[in-house]
Amino acid sequence: MRSSRVSDFAVEAKGLSVGFRGRLAIEDASFSVPAGSSVAVLGPNGAGKSTLFAAAVGLVGITAGEIRVASSRVALVPQRLDLTPGFPVTADDVVRMGRYGDLGLIRRFGPRDRELVESAIDALDIGHLVGRRFGELSGGERQRTLLAQAAAQDPEVLLLDEPFTGVDAPTGEAVRRLLGRWREEGRTTFVATHDLRSAARDHDLVLCLNRRVIAFGPAEETISEEVLAETFAGRVLRVGDLLVDVAHHHHGAG
């Protein structure tokens, strides 16, 4: 089940299992994240990171256990939103969609809605994309637009699924600035990433996931050679700009 309740924790999972076609994508996962924390979710492709985020917002069915989100103001930024080039939705339309959940049946924008949309467009520096079709944007431009959509929701909990993958340097820097601002504002953020250095440097907690929770806690307790080898099962991950095979190298948190 996915449920919401008042809690000192922003997100709690207890024995969470999610399965597809007879296979568990997540198995018996449990963790509790204090409100206002920034969490890096480390794991290889196929480890269940996207599934965890989808379960948190009720997009997939839960096989067993539960995940609880203390706020209804939750924003999910997926890895991609693919639209055909001719689909008639512009970048600013996509940002405005972030307000639809609060508009009710009338779907009429008020001053607060317009303010949040304009602020989000400014924060991600995408004013030059207003009026351009989303399907024609570059990967970095799409990522900025999706982040602006999330910002327009004024969320208390944010789930970002590999926001640095396939983006250019300016977009990566824009993402980092926005994450830093959200952290200062006391919003709870989850960031799925392959970047070990960023996980250790930029977040309060690290969740190492490979179908099940391998480790959860501060970086100094979770980022170790043993934990990483179990999490990534000999696959390659990123330490800053370097690609490292965790099966054959020792890693530090820096």
The string of pLDDT tens digits covering residues 18-48 is 998 888 999 999 999 999 999 999 998 889 9
**Strand-by-strand arrangement of the 188-193 sheet:** 74-77, 157-161, 188-193, 38-42, 205-210, 212-217
Domain residues for 144? 82-154
**pLDDT (0 to 100) of residue 147:** 93
Per the domain annotation, does 86 fall within a domain?
Answer: yes
Q: Strands 2-3 and 64-69, how do they pair?
A: parallel
**pLDDT (0 to 100) of residue 164:** 85
Same domain, 148 and 87: yes
Whole-number Å distance between alpha carbons of 254 and 240: 9
**pLDDT (0 to 100) of residue 3:** 43
Q: Dmax of the chain from CA atoms? A: 59
Same domain, 100 and 210: no
**pLDDT (0 to 100) of residue 78:** 87
Identify which of 136, 238, 169, 246 has the alpha carbon closest to the alpha carbon of residue 197.
238
Q: Do 161 and 79 meet the contact criterion of CB atoms below 8 Å apart? A: yes
**pLDDT (0 to 100) of residue 4:** 42
Indicate the residue type of 229. Answer: A
Provide the angle, in degrees to the nearest 10, between the axes of the packed helices 111-123 and 139-152. Answer: 140
What is the tally of structural domains in the chain? Answer: 2
**pLDDT (0 to 100) of residue 80:** 72
Q: Cβ contacts of residue 8 below 8 Å, gap of 6+?
A: 34, 35
Same domain, 213 and 245: yes
Same domain, 47 and 165: yes
**pLDDT (0 to 100) of residue 96:** 92
Say what the pTM is. 0.84
The distance in angstroms from the start CA to the end CA of the chain is 38
Per the domain annotation, does 193 fall within a domain?
Answer: yes
- The model's pLDDT over 161-186, given as tens digits with 9 standing for 90+, comes to 998 887 888 888 888 889 999 999 99
**pLDDT (0 to 100) of residue 107:** 67
The residue ranges of the chain whose pLDDT is under 70 are 1-7, 81-86, 102-107, 234-254
Same domain, 37 and 150: no
**pLDDT (0 to 100) of residue 86:** 66
Same domain, 123 and 87: yes
List the CATH number of the domain containing 33: 3.40.50.300
